Chain A
Amino acid sequence: MIYEILILIIPLIAMAFYKNIKITSIIGAIIELFLLIPLYFDLSNSGFFFIDHITYIFILMVSSIYLMSLLYSRKYIHNIGNKGISENVYYMLMGFFYVAMEFALMVNNYGFMWVGIETTTISSALLLITEKSDISLEATWRYIIIVSAGVTFAFISVILIYYAFGTLTVTVILSEGIRDSLAVRLAVGIALVGFGTKVGVFPVHTWLPDAHSEAPAPVSAMFSGVLLPVALYVLYRIYEIYPMREIFIWAGTISVLFAAIFLGYQRNYKRMFAYSTMENMNIALIGLSTFTFAGLVGSLLLLLSHSFGKAGAFYSSGNVYEMSGTKSIDGVGGLIRNKASAASMLLSSFAVTGTPPFGTFFGEFLILYSVLSIHFYAQFGIIVLSLFLAFVSINFNVSKMLFRGKSEYSQSGINTIIPLIAAIISIFIGIVFLVVYHEIL
Chain B
Amino acid sequence: MNIVFTIIYLLAALIVVTGFYIQSNKYLRSMVMTQAFQSLLIAIIAIFLGFELKQYTFFILAVLVILLRSVLVTYFLAAKIPKNKNYLYESRLPTTYYLLVDLAFIVISIFIVYSISFIHIVSRIFPASNIILFPLLLFFQGLFIIASRRRTIAQILGYIEEENSLILMGTFILPVPIIIESSVFLDVLILVVIFSIISIEKTEHKPVEELRG
Contact = CB atoms under 8 A, between A and B. Distances in A.
A315 to B, nearest CB: 22
Most A Cβ at <10 Å: residue of B121, B124, B163, B190: B121
B129 to A, nearest CB: 15
Contacts of B201: 137
Contacts of A352: none
Interface string B113-127: 000011011001000
A399 B40 CA distance: 59
B213 A262 contact: yes
Given A122-B187, A271-B213, A138 B176 contact: no
Interface in B180-197: 180, 183-184, 187, 190-191, 194-195, 197
Given A111-B177, A144-B195, 11 more contacts: A134-B208, A138-B202, A138-B211, A145-B155, A149-B159, A155-B170, A159-B176, A162-B174, A163-B124, A265-B213, A266-B213
12 contacts: A111-B183, A112-B183, A115-B183, A118-B183, A122-B187, A122-B194, A126-B194, A138-B205, A138-B208, A149-B162, A163-B173, A209-B211
A186 interface: yes
B181 to A, nearest CB: 9
Interface in B148-180: 152, 155-156, 158-159, 162-163, 166, 169-170, 173-174, 176-177, 180
Given A141-B198, A163-B173, A148 B159 contact: yes
A149 to B, nearest CB: 6
A129 B190 CA distance: 17
Contact of B121 (A109, A129, A134, A186): A186
B88 to A, nearest CB: 17
Nearest to A187: B121
Which 9 residue pairs are nearest across A and B when measured between Cβ atoms? A111-B180, A115-B183, A137-B202, A182-B120, A118-B187, A210-B211, A163-B174, A122-B190, A135-B210
B176 A162 contact: yes
A122 B187 CA distance: 7
A402 to B, nearest CB: 23
A185 B195 CA distance: 35
A271 B121 CA distance: 42
Nearest to A109: B180
Given A135-B210, A142-B211, A148-B191, A156 B169 contact: yes
Contacts of B170: 155, 159
Contacts of A114: 180
Contacts of A142: 205, 211
Interface in B57-113: none
A281 interface: no
- Interface residue tally on B, bucketed by range: 35 or more
Contacts of A262: 213
B49 interface: no
A155 B159 CA distance: 13
A342 B210 CA distance: 25
A155 B187 contact: no
A268 B170 CA distance: 43
A126 B197 contact: yes
A156 B166 contact: yes
Interface of B: 117-118, 120-121, 124, 143, 146, 152, 155-156, 158-159, 162-163, 166, 169-170, 173-174, 176-177, 180, 183-184, 187, 190-191, 194-195, 197-198, 201-202, 205, 208, 210-211, 213
A152 interface: yes
A155 B169 CA distance: 10
A82 to B, nearest CB: 12
Interface residues of A, number: 47
A140 B183 contact: no
A158 B176 contact: yes
Contacts of B195: 144
Given A138-B211, A155-B166, A271-B213, A144 B191 contact: yes
A210 B210 CA distance: 9
A139 interface: yes
B166 A152 contact: yes
Most A Cβ at <10 Å: residue of B146, B198, B210: B210
Nearest to A275: B213
Interface in A159-183: 159-160, 162-163, 168, 182-183
A213 B190 CA distance: 24
A163 B121 CA distance: 8
B185 to A, nearest CB: 11
A119 interface: yes
A158 to B, nearest CB: 7
B163 A152 contact: yes
Contacts of B190: 122
A119 B184 CA distance: 10
A135 B211 contact: yes
A141 B202 contact: yes
A125 interface: yes
B211 A183 contact: no
A238 B96 CA distance: 42
Most B Cβ at <10 Å: residue of A118, A159, A186: A159
A403 B201 CA distance: 40
Contacts of A210: 211
A275 B195 CA distance: 27
Contacts of B213: 209, 262, 265-267, 271
